[in-house]
Chains A and B, each alone.
Chain A
Amino acid sequence: GAVVSQHPSRVICKSGTSVKIECRSLDFQATTMFWYRQFPKQSLMLMATSNEGSKATYEQGVEKDKFLINHASLTLSTLTVTSAHPEDSSFYICSPTTLMNTEAFFGQGTRLTVV
């Protein structure tokens, strides 16, 4: 399967600061990137979809100014949580994909804790 690297795996930050999460597809070019959020003991909630070189499309209820997504290259996408608050604490997972893939591949996830 495809190799996806998501970094950092865990991060603790203070309220009001920003945190950047990186997602890299190491052995394929990701034309599309999905970013998910997962609450404890719950399923994955799609936050946004981004295509390389284009602005991300956000799901209803997700603040685009709070969750900044950059997909500047076919192998790297970033999610920046701006002005973080404790309610932003969650598990964030990226999923890069291409039109050639039928199954999705996922990063290892980032556990964000805002204190």
Chain B
Amino acid sequence: AQSVAQPEDQVNVAEGNPLTVKCTYSVSGNPYLFWYVQYPNRGLQFLLKYITGDNLVKGSYGFEAEFNKSQTSFHLKKPSALVSDSALYFCAVRDIRAAGNKLTFGGGTRVLVKP
């Protein structure tokens, strides 16, 4: 079984400050890891993914995430947050050995960037 934990329901940050959204995961085998962002009444937009290779992954809108196998973490980061980054963020995992592309999502973290 696979699972994802996002320990923070909400993260508040001032515009221009660094933003970090935490994610830890559990899978039986090697993971595919993803971050998605959701704006109100919209579907999920893909931000970035880790499949293999460099542990630091760069994605859309200046976001990046670092895969840490020993800590089973995949925290999302942005060096300088914008007010427009305020949204709901989901971490997701897929076991690469599992059939199909079924994702398991974390509970989501609401990010509020204040001007």
Contact = CB atoms under 8 A, between A and B. Distances in A.
B23 to A, nearest CB: 12
Contacts, number: 57
B25 interface: no
Interface in B36-90: 36, 41-46, 49, 51, 90
A104 B100 contact: no
Given A49-B100, A101-B101, A104-B101, A43 B43 contact: no
A109 B108 contact: no
Contacts of B42: 108-109
A33 B85 CA distance: 29
Given A44-B90, A103-B49, A93 B44 contact: yes
Residue among A9, A43, A49, A106 facing the most chain B CB atoms (10 A cut-off): A43
B108 to A, nearest CB: 5
Contacts of B106: 43
A34 B46 contact: no
A102 B49 contact: yes
Contact of A109 (B43, B51, B103): B43
B49 A42 contact: no
B90 A32 contact: no
A9 B102 CA distance: 24
Interface of B: 32, 34, 36, 41-46, 49, 51, 90, 92, 100-103, 105-108, 110
24 contacts: A6-B43, A9-B41, A10-B41, A32-B101, A41-B108, A41-B110, A42-B108, A43-B105, A43-B107, A44-B44, A44-B90, A44-B105, A91-B41, A93-B44, A95-B103, A102-B101, A103-B49, A104-B34, A104-B92, A106-B44, A108-B43, A109-B41, A109-B42, A111-B41
